[in-house]
Amino acid sequence: MNLTAVVLHYRRWHQARSKAELDLFAAEASLARAVRRAALAKTPSGKRYPHQRRRKSEALKKGAEKLASVLSKIDAATNFAKLLAVVNDAVRTVSDLGELYVYDTALRIGAYKGILPTRVYLHAGTREGAKALELDFERRRVALDTFEVPEPLRALAPHELEDVLCIYKRYFSGERADLDETEGCWVDDGFKGC
């Protein structure tokens, strides 16, 4: 397994997409609009982001309502960990909205606020990637510090490392022997995780 190749592959095939998504949230007209669009997992064209395509519309709407009710707490969050906690607390009782939804929603809102993760946050897909890389973590652990990931991967930002752990989990586990442009957790390939 060549981790430098993973970084180069990510930069070539995935980094621009991730940056474009966050840039669009950073450019939203207001915090309220950024929160609503993030909560509904809507692209600017009104389509649903791939990670949340299987979430029920009712759950997304309920999540948007819950997040709108804590807008002042979202505004007061001064770092990503606090923002993630606010989002999680607001939507944790909404059925069908799990860890990945909470992380993605907080990341998108964080882009608007100019606060991105300083740690690598874990959910089902990233835990699989971390396990495949034999990183030392407990199942209930919420995040890894960047110094805990192999050196070549540290060239990426923490939110990009989250992407990498999820996107390349099957490569890391040996299930996929190669890297190609279709490698991605947003491809509907029947695998659970991202």
pLDDT tens-digit map of 145-183: 999 999 999 999 999 999 999 999 999 988 876 776 554
Q: For the stretch 132-159, what's the b/e string if a residue is b when 16 or more beta carbons lie within 10 angstroms of its beta carbon?
A: bbebeeeeeebbbebebbeeebeebbbb
Q: For the stretch 65-80, what's the b/e string if a residue is b when 16 or more beta carbons lie within 10 angstroms of its beta carbon?
A: ebbeebbebbeebeeb
What pLDDT does 193 receive? Answer: 41
From 4-8, 42-46, 190-194, the region with the lowest mean pLDDT: 190-194
> Of all residues in the chain, what percent carry a pLDDT higher than 70?
92
Please report, for residues 14, 83, 87, 93, the alpha-carbon distance to residue 98 in angstroms, rounded to integers and kept in the order given. Answer: 24, 16, 11, 10
**Confidence class of residue 138 from pLDDT cuts 50, 70 and 90?**
confident
Cα separation, 160 vs 10, in Å, equals 9
What pLDDT does 180 receive? Answer: 64
The total number of structural domains in the chain stands at: 1
185 within a domain of the structure (yes/no): yes
First-to-last CA distance in the chain?
Answer: 21
**Confidence class of residue 191 from pLDDT cuts 50, 70 and 90?**
very low
pTM (two decimals): 0.89
Average pLDDT over residues 102-109: 97
What pLDDT does 162 receive? Answer: 96
What pLDDT does 181 receive? Answer: 53
Structural domain boundaries enclosing 98: 1-189
For residue 151, what is the DSSP state? G
From 48-52, 58-62, 107-111, the region with the lowest mean pLDDT: 48-52
Average pLDDT over residues 7-34: 96
Judged against a pLDDT cut of 80, whether residue 184 lies above it is answered with no
> Of all residues in the chain, what percent carry a pLDDT higher than 90?
75
From 49-53, 107-111, 143-147, 161-165, the region with the lowest mean pLDDT: 49-53
194 within a domain of the structure (yes/no): no
Judged against a pLDDT cut of 50, whether residue 87 lies above it is answered with yes
48 within a domain of the structure (yes/no): yes
For residue 58, what is the DSSP state? H
Judged against a pLDDT cut of 90, whether residue 192 lies above it is answered with no
129 within a domain of the structure (yes/no): yes
65 within a domain of the structure (yes/no): yes
Chain segment 122-135, per-residue pLDDT in tens = 998 899 999 999 99
